[in-house]
Structure 1
Amino acid sequence: MAKIHYKIVQHDGGWAYKLGDVFSESFPTHDAAMRAAKRVAQEQHVPGNDAYIEYQDEKGEWRTEYSAGGDRPDADVTD
């Protein structure tokens, strides 16, 4: 099982949660960003349907791959 960590950081004049190099929208307070990040981490645990997904990789190229709906990461939030 993959493990992912959302991190709370200052961003764009406020606070955001970050996964890797990707930031969420900005929130006015640290607490608001933390609540949003915890909600998103909880949603990572919810199984979905098997599907083909399309995403842009770090080189800007589009990829298509099969995603098993029950293969969910273990997600948490850190400061």
Structure 2
Amino acid sequence: MSNVTYHVIEHDGGYAYKVGDTISETFASHDEALRAARIAAAEQRVPDEDGNIEYQDARGARHVESARGDDRPDTEVDG
């Protein structure tokens, strides 16, 4: 199982949370960003239905992969 860490960072005159290279919207305070990161991390652990993930890579090739709904990562928040 994989592990995903949410990091609270300063961003655009406020705070946001970052996962990998993805940054959330900006929050006015550190506490608001931390609360949002904790909610997002908890939601990511919730099992869902099996489904397909479709995406396009950097070369423009389309891919389809199966995703098990019960294959959820461990998450943590670094505030």
Aligned residue for 1:6?
A: 6
TM-score (norm 2): 0.89
Q: What is the TM-score with the length of structure 1 in the denominator?
A: 0.89
User: Bigger radius of gyration, 1 or 2?
Assistant: 2
List alignment gaps of at least 5 residues for structure 2.
none
Percent identity for Structure 1 against Structure 2: 49
Please tell me whether residue 49 in structure 1 is matched to residue 40 in structure 2.
Answer: no
Would you identify which runs of 4 or more consecutive aligned residues in structure 1 move more than 4 Å?
none
For residue 54 of structure 1, report the CA deviation from its aligned partner: 2.1
* Corresponding residue of 1:29: 29
Q: What amino acid does structure 2 have at the position aligned with 1:77?
A: V
Partners of 1:28 and 1:15 in 2: how far apart? 6
SS in 2 for 1:37: helix
Supply the AA of the counterpart residue of 2:39: R
Partner of 1:65: 65
Change over 3 Å in CA distance of 1:28–1:56 after alignment to 2? farther
Cα root mean square deviation, aligned: 1.5
Take 1:7 and 1:60, find their aligned partners in 2: how far apart are those partners?
A: 30
Q: Distance in 2 between matches of 1:48 and 1:60?
A: 30
Alpha-carbon shift at residue 44 of structure 1 (Å): 1.1
